[in-house]
Amino acid sequence: MTAKALRYYETVGLLPEPDRTASGYRDYPETVLDRLRFIRAAQAVGLTLGEIRGVIAFREAGRPPCAHVLELIEGRAADLDTRIVELAALRDELRRLDERGRTLSPDACSPGLVCHILNPAAH
Amino acid sequence: MTAKALRYYETVGLLPEPDRTASGYRDYPETVLDRLRFIRAAQAVGLTLGEIRGVIAFREAGRPPCAHVLELIEGRAADLDTRIVELAALRDELRRLDERGRTLSPDACSPGLVCHILNPAAH
DNA sequence: CTTGACCTTCCCCTGAGGTGGAAGGTTGAT
DNA sequence: ATCAACCTTCCACCTCAGGGGAAGGTCAAG
């Protein structure tokens, strides 16, 4: 959490504009710490700053964002399920390619194809 | 594979500069098709264009890139293993958060924390 | 001859979440 | 008085793999 990040959060609407000292320095209230802890916690579970802003907007509209947060959490969990399956399939394909590649002789690898492990000769 | 993509591949060194016709049009040899198939295959298994360029560099240096390709494949597979474990842990945490969040009353959600599901009160 | 469909180079834009630096002002300690 | 270490604003830049579109040249068909 750098000073730069705080300014960025301010520009994207995650932090309210703080009061300024007489010389123009930002004078944050203590309460910003809770806000920042929320942002960190939300980021840690994979929410984007845009989603986090949406949650904060609920709160600033005076309503508890809990139901919305649960939706986001469930949506993200479902996304992850999908993503994990995709990545596992890719990993399995990589392992198969590796197994097969080990049985191939580099001497038989055609320059034009770059590498026959990834680019087998067209049938 | 758009024309734009071909030009991009050329600028990043994945394609050799093709000959030109008298009027300046690119005049690709047939062999570019094998190259493009290689690029597609390599991208499909998750290699970046930078890695693909490295593989091609081996080939253009006159050596079969097979051993290097196997390293990349194994590295990517290992990365995926790690990534999958991380994502699964995150998903599990999201499910736990969801379970717990359902038991919490929105009425008890403190405005300062934004939402107590993600940001429980510091003890 | 003209039209439409190509091609060329060039530069800027995308999204996410910031980071880096320049130019200038302020503060607290020496 | 000066110095370092802050702060301010603003603008640019980073990754990644291209996409959009302007301004201008070319090719084949009608």
Q: What is the pLDDT of residues B8-37, one digit of tens each?
A: 999 999 999 999 999 999 999 999 999 999
Q: What is the pLDDT of residue B122?
A: 75
Q: What is the pLDDT of residue A122?
A: 76
Give the structural domain span for B54.
3-101
Q: Name the residue in chain A with its Cα closest to that of B111.
A: A59
Q: What is the pLDDT of residues A46-96, one digit of tens each?
A: 999 999 999 999 999 999 999 999 999 999 999 999 999 999 999 999 999
Residue B74 lies in a domain: yes
CATH number (domain holding residue B72): 1.10.1660.10
Lowest mean pLDDT among A100-104, A118-122, B22-26: A118-122
* Mean pLDDT across chain A: 95
Q: What is the pLDDT of residue A21?
A: 95
Cβ neighbours of residue B38 closer than 8 Å, sequence gap 6 or more? A113, A114, A115, A118, A119, B52, B56
User: Alpha-carbon distance B22 to B63, whole Å?
Assistant: 34
Question: What ipTM describes this predicted complex?
Answer: 0.86
**Greater confidence, B122 or B72?**
B72
Question: CB of B90 within 8 Å of any CB in chain A?
Answer: yes
Q: Integer distance in angstroms from CA A41 to C1' C16?
A: 18
Question: CB of B123 within 8 Å of any CB in chain A?
Answer: no
Residue B123 lies in a domain: no
Section A94-106 average pLDDT: 96
Residue A120 lies in a domain: no
| B64 φψ region: left (φ > 0), alpha (ψ -120 to 50), beta (else) | beta
Domains of chain B: total: 1
